[in-house]
Chain A
Amino acid sequence: MTAAAGAKVAGAAFALALRDVSVNYRVERGRTLRALEGIDFDVPEATFCAVIGPSGCGKSTVLRLLGGLLQPTAGNVTIGGRAPRAVAAEHRLGVAFQDHALLPWLTARENVALPFAAVGRRVDDRRVDALLDLVGIADFAAARPGQLSGGMRQRVAIARALVLDPGVLLLDEPFGALDAVTRRRLNLEVQRIWSERAITTLLVTHSVEEAVFLADTVVVMSQRPGRIERVQPVTFARPRDRSLLAAPAFHALVDDLTAALDAADVLA
């Protein structure tokens, strides 16, 4: 009975669903700005979804809705049928931001261990070590963020996002501030980590190539107010590796989506 209930929760506990979601921001007295309009899509359990779109289209707003940081003006946002805040209260969301959000006074290791303390749990040292290993920064565990390169900071941030064994991973342009070479290498790492254990993931990104390489589904959004232009399944076999980056089919899809993105960027 307990096992059955557990299995049922595990079944679709972390599927993401956005139903006809709109978001208005209040700019000034009486004036509002519509950031999102009629956003409606699903991310099935244990799949990887990437959201791309022109700057300011509300991509990050989608992520903030799923993190429970923002309430929709209209429509419904759920994770496994529940409100994101309820899932956050159970500490099952992992998140990484573009500006890494590491605490500058803690070492890399302490930053990875931080979520345990933040939710009042005992630090699982073995898990922290395993994650430092997984993202390849075990040798820099004692360094502070100020002593690390941008790429290494993002590795720490990814390890931190994974440390509580989240059911949902939210990645907000985590590699947006990195150079192209580091970015590609980290994409390969994320792909490897994700292949070992598939977590329901939403990635917000500028890079079409990154989206196609990592995701099962790419959602293309239009210029503000953000609407969905296209939902594109990506069916390349997993695990994916460097060879995919050279494949003609990969480039054809990237070109196709880039064209869709350019069309979406034209101001109405």
Chain B
Amino acid sequence: MTLQAGRIAAGLAGLALVLVAWEGAGRFGWLGPSWPPFSLVAAFIAAPEHRALLSAAASQTLREAALGFAAGSVAGCACALVGVLIPPAAFGIERFAAIVNGIPVIGIGSLCAVTFPPAVNPVVVASLAVFFMLFVSATAGLQGAPAGGHDLLRVLGASRWVTFARLQLPAALPAVADGLRLSAPIAVVGAIIGEWFTAETGLGPLLVNAMQNYQIDLLWAAALTGALISMLAYLALGVLQRAAARRFLGQ
């Protein structure tokens, strides 16, 4: 309990230190004119005229990321189930996942841009990126059930369905929850990169335009906003992951 509190305190102190360093580097120009102090970026975000622009862009990106996240995680889990329930398929599907995982998001973004309507592209890119993550973690979780459990159920003469429902599924849930948490930033990356190719609005175009037009404050504000929505999603899914680990792993 006290150890945990100490760790959190140290982490928060470190966070404060990072913000102070960010502020100092900007104030004194250690890293050049493209590094604004934190306070300036925060003030930029807080200003009413910018807030509307940023929140519109962020909510669009967040919506795309969330839709992609939902579609990708359902599809990823479904494919992992197929792989585990039809063992001969598992081998090929695993290789396939490794290869498809190697396709750079940036490539997926452009390939999908010509195939899907512009508005849908970011969602598709995000869902594909999340799909691989969930496929890999769900497969690992389903295959990772303790061997003793398999033996026990076989000795008891349990059916395949019971083995799946009572052993493999509960054993896979913590891994799936972990995959979901790690997919939060991946979904946001997918949505933003998808936007680069087709969208006029959203955080993606905001970032690229600000970069090209030397709008340093806007660039940093957009980046910080993107980082924040991703972090919040990550933290929220972290609560879910810990609950799953507590319930099914006894940690």
In the complex, A touching B, CB below 8 Å?
yes
Chain A residues in the interface with B (C-beta under 8 A): 28-29
User: Which residues on B sit within 8 Å (CB–CB) of A29?
Assistant: 1-2
User: Which residues on B sit within 8 Å (CB–CB) of A28?
Assistant: 1-2
CB closest residue in chain B, given A28: B1
CB closest residue in chain A, given B5: A29
Count, chain B residues at interface, CB 8 A: 2
User: Which residues on A sit within 8 Å (CB–CB) of B1?
Assistant: 28-29
B35 to chain A, nearest CB (A): 43
User: Which residues on A sit within 8 Å (CB–CB) of B2?
Assistant: 28-29
* Bound-complex Cα distance A29 to B1 (A): 8
CB closest residue in chain B, given A29: B2
A65 to chain B, nearest CB (A): 23
**Residues of chain B in range 1-36 having any CB-CB distance to chain A below 8 Å:** 1-2
* Bound-complex Cα distance A29 to B4 (A): 12
A30 to chain B, nearest CB (A): 10
A27 to chain B, nearest CB (A): 10
B3 to chain A, nearest CB (A): 10
CB closest residue in chain B, given A30: B2
* Bound-complex Cα distance A122 to B1 (A): 45
* Bound-complex Cα distance A233 to B1 (A): 45
A31 to chain B, nearest CB (A): 10
* Bound-complex Cα distance A40 to B205 (A): 76
The 4 listed contacts between A and B (C-beta, < 8 Å) are: A28-B1, A28-B2, A29-B1, A29-B2
B2 to chain A, nearest CB (A): 6
* Bound-complex Cα distance A29 to B2 (A): 7
B57 to chain A, nearest CB (A): 46
* Bound-complex Cα distance A29 to B3 (A): 10
B41 to chain A, nearest CB (A): 39
A54 to chain B, nearest CB (A): 26
B51 to chain A, nearest CB (A): 43
* Bound-complex Cα distance A162 to B2 (A): 39
* Bound-complex Cα distance A29 to B6 (A): 12
A25 to chain B, nearest CB (A): 13
B4 to chain A, nearest CB (A): 11
CB closest residue in chain A, given B2: A29
* Bound-complex Cα distance A28 to B3 (A): 9
* Bound-complex Cα distance A28 to B2 (A): 7
* Bound-complex Cα distance A22 to B173 (A): 46
A28 to chain B, nearest CB (A): 6
A33 to chain B, nearest CB (A): 15
The 3 A-B residue pairs with the shortest CB-CB distance, nearest first, are A29-B2, A28-B1, A29-B1
Contact mask for chain B residues 36-64; partner A; CB cutoff 8 A; 1 contact, 0 none: 00000000000000000000000000000
A131 to chain B, nearest CB (A): 38
CB closest residue in chain A, given B1: A28
* Bound-complex Cα distance A169 to B2 (A): 36
Contact mask for chain B residues 63-86; partner A; CB cutoff 8 A; 1 contact, 0 none: 000000000000000000000000
* Bound-complex Cα distance A11 to B1 (A): 48
CB closest residue in chain B, given A27: B1
A44 to chain B, nearest CB (A): 41
B7 to chain A, nearest CB (A): 15
B9 to chain A, nearest CB (A): 14
A26 to chain B, nearest CB (A): 9
* Bound-complex Cα distance A190 to B1 (A): 43
* Bound-complex Cα distance A178 to B170 (A): 34
* Bound-complex Cα distance A28 to B1 (A): 7
* Bound-complex Cα distance A28 to B5 (A): 12
A29 to chain B, nearest CB (A): 6
B118 to chain A, nearest CB (A): 54
* Bound-complex Cα distance A47 to B1 (A): 43
